[in-house]
């Protein structure tokens, strides 16, 4: 859609589609008016038989929603997909804030043209600032498949997600939804929306999910911003990308987080599999993996650490900070160790993805999953960041990692997708045939054993018709 009306002339922003019972489709989207007021508008597909839905017709009565009293004109955006209420109405939530408290407003409707604002909010968290691209959906506690947005019941948890305008990260929390009153309560207030878990601990923002009713799954889309200069973006003529779509499931093993994982269709791009079985990597060493060009890869890796050594060595510090540490070059007793992707022959450019195990004085372990971009490029206009967080590792589990490498995008998933990190990198030497892959172990006290399956990845054939 193009901003061509007074109610969206300054921007056609995030919207969400909803399937109606008769199979028709409607879209609610945010428009920025000629006076820069954020309003919600209604649109219909111009040709419902066009499976790409390339043209839309805007409702003649737009806007259908304007900021309510007490909400600033620029703090009212990004309506969700609608779900049904016990009374048979449709319900949506919209992101906003009051002072520094991020909130999600709740509206009911029967026709998507007239709306009723419910008292209070779906949820709010002090200190989190403006909530945008709010998402709200159910996940099953027992089944593997995804759920339609209107599903509810005792076997269901509800995910509330917000993109925080203040720090440009996507946060979520699991909780319980009270459909009668239009309220949501987090399972654990200490990791509430905006102060706890994230979909992805790297370059990943403004995400939205949809329910794929054909394959019974919930699919996550997002945005990867550029971290080089504006001048470089102007020179190449475009900016920003999307990560690989991901499925979302409830983690039945931990019961406290979701799992994100690349959609199965990505595996159709695999070719030329190479396997490495039980490769030992000693402390302070690097092992090359001969896979040809490492510019487009799908990597599945398992890492084993000698538990006897972990138990024998005394612990001193049970925590670690991926972002403020010395990165992959800072050596500890039990880490870092993992992969060097998009690395040139001279190791001058490298993008490490790694685990770090911390042990406190009482013998408790914490595992961290990190991505270090400080040596990812020799370009002068690139922000070289470090990303990461903890990852839950249950008793008896090996450390597992999947990484998708696509020239300048690296998407990594630890422990089956409990923690994910996406990076935008700008290699100047580690490109095409000169991109190489290595195992590394910069721990001081442990050796690791790695088993890997690695595929070359073909380019997707995108059909536009």
What's the whole-model pTM score? 0.96
Neighbours of 218 (CB within 10 A): 23
Q: Which domains does the chain have, with CATH numbers?
A: 11-198 (2.115.10.20), 271-457 (2.60.120.560)
- Please say whether the beta carbons of 376 and 387 come within 8 A: no
Residue 465: pLDDT above 60? no
Choice among 16-20, 275-279, 307-311, 449-453 with the minimum mean pLDDT = 307-311
Exposed / middle / buried, residue 424 (Cβ in 10 Å: 0-12, 13-18, 19+):
buried
Residue 226 is encoded by which pair of tokens?
A: 């550029």
Tell whether the model's pLDDT for residue 165 goes beyond 70.
yes
Asked if pLDDT for residue 316 goes beyond 90, the answer is no
Region of poorest pLDDT, from 69-83, 88-102, 247-261, 352-366: 352-366
Instruction: Give the separation between CA 167 and CA 222, rounded to whole angstroms.
Output: 16
pLDDT digits (tens, 9 = 90+) for 374-411: 999 999 999 999 999 999 999 999 999 999 999 999 99
Whether the per-residue pLDDT at 107 is higher than 80: the answer is yes
Mention every residue, 6+ apart, whose C-beta is less than 8 A from residue 63. Answer: 7, 31, 33, 39, 40, 41
What's the whole-number mean pLDDT along residues 98-103? 98
Least confident of 246-260, 309-323, 403-417: 309-323
Supply the pLDDT for residue 335.
Answer: 94
pLDDT per position as a tens digit, 317-356: 778 999 999 999 999 999 999 999 999 999 999 999 999 9
Please state, in angstroms and rounded to a whole number, the distance separating the CA atoms of residues 340 and 328: 10
Residue 72 pLDDT: 98
Average pLDDT of the segment spanning 20-37: 96
The owner of tokens 């019972």 is 21
> So what's the pLDDT on residue 311?
86
% the chain with pLDDT above 90: 94
Tokens describing residue 81: 């997909």
**Residue 309 pLDDT > 90:** no
How many residues in total does the chain contain?
A: 465
Q: How far apart are CA 194 and CA 180, in angstroms?
A: 25
What is the pLDDT, as a whole number, of residue 318? 77
pLDDT for 462 equals 74
In this prediction, residues 99-110 reach a mean pLDDT of: 98
Integer Cα distance of 264 and 275 in angstroms: 20
- Residue appearing with tokens 């009482």: 362
pLDDT of 464 reads 61
| Tens digits of residue pLDDT in 48-90 | 999 889 999 999 999 999 999 999 999 999 999 999 999 999 9
What is the CA 129 to chain-centroid distance, rounded?
Answer: 20
Q: Residue 57 and residue 142: Cα distance in Å, rounded?
A: 41
Residue-level pLDDT at 363: 87
Residue 120 has pLDDT above 70, yes or no: yes
Q: What percent of the chain has pLDDT over 70?
A: 99
Strands 169-178 and 156-164: antiparallel
For residue 110, which of 137, 91, 138 has the smallest C-alpha distance? 91
């Amino acid at each position: 859609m193009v901003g061509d009306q007074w109610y969206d002339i300054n921007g056609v922003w995030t919207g969400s589609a909803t399937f109606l019972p008769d199979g028709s489709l409607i879209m609610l989207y945010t428009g920025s008016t000629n006076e820069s007021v954020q309003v919600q508008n209604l649109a219909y597909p111009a040709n419902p038989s066009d499976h790409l839905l390339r043209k839309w017709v805007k409702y003649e009565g737009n806007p259908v929603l304007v900021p309510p009293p007490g909400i600033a004109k620029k703090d009212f955006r990004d309506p969700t997909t609608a779900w049904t209420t016990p009374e048979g109405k449709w319900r949506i939530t919209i992101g906003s804030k009051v002072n520094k408290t991020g909130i999600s407003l709740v509206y009911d409707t029967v026709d998507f043209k007239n709306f009723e604002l419910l008292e209070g909010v779906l949820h709010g968290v002090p200190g989190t600032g403006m909530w945008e691209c709010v998402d709200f959906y159910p996940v099953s506690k027992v089944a593997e498949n995804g759920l339609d947005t209107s599903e509810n019941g005792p076997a269901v948890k509800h995910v509330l997600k917000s993109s925080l305008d203040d720090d440009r990260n996507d946060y979520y929390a699991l909780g319980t939804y009270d459909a009668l009153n239009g309220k949501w309560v987090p399972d654990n207030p200490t990791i509430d929306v905006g102060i706890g878990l994230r979909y992805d601990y790297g370059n990943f923002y403004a995400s939205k999910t949809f329910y794929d009713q054909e394959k019974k799954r919930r699919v996550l889309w997002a945005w990867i911003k550029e971290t080089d200069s504006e001048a470089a973006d102007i020179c190449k003529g475009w900016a920003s990308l999307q990560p690989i779509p991901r499925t979302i499931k409830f983690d039945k093993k931990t019961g406290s987080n979701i799992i994100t994982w690349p959609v199965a269709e990505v595996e159709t791009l695999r070719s030329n599999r190479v396997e490495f079985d039980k490769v030992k990597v000693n402390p302070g060493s690097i092992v090359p993996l001969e896979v040809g060009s490492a510019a487009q890869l799908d990597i599945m890796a398992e890492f084993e650490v000698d538990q006897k050594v972990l138990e024998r060595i005394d612990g001193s510090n049970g925590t670690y900070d991926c972002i403020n540490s010395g990165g992959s070059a800072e050596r500890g007793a039990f880490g870092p160790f993992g992969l060097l992707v998009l690395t040139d022959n001279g190791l001058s450019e490298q993008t490490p993805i790694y685990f770090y195990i911390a042990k406190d004085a009482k013998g408790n372990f914490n595992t961290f999953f990190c991505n270090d971009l400080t040596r990812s490029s020799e370009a002068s206009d690139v922000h070289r960041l470090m990303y990461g967080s903890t990852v839950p590792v249950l008793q008896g589990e090996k450390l597992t990692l999947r990484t998708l490498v696509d020239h300048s995008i690296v998407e990594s998933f630890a422990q089956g997708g409990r923690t994910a990190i996406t990076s935008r990198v700008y290699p100047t030497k580690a490109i095409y045939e000169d991109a190489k892959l290595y195992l590394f172990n910069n721990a001081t006290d442990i050796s690791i054993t790695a088993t890997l399956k690695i595929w070359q990845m073909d380019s997707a054939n995108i059909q536009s018709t």
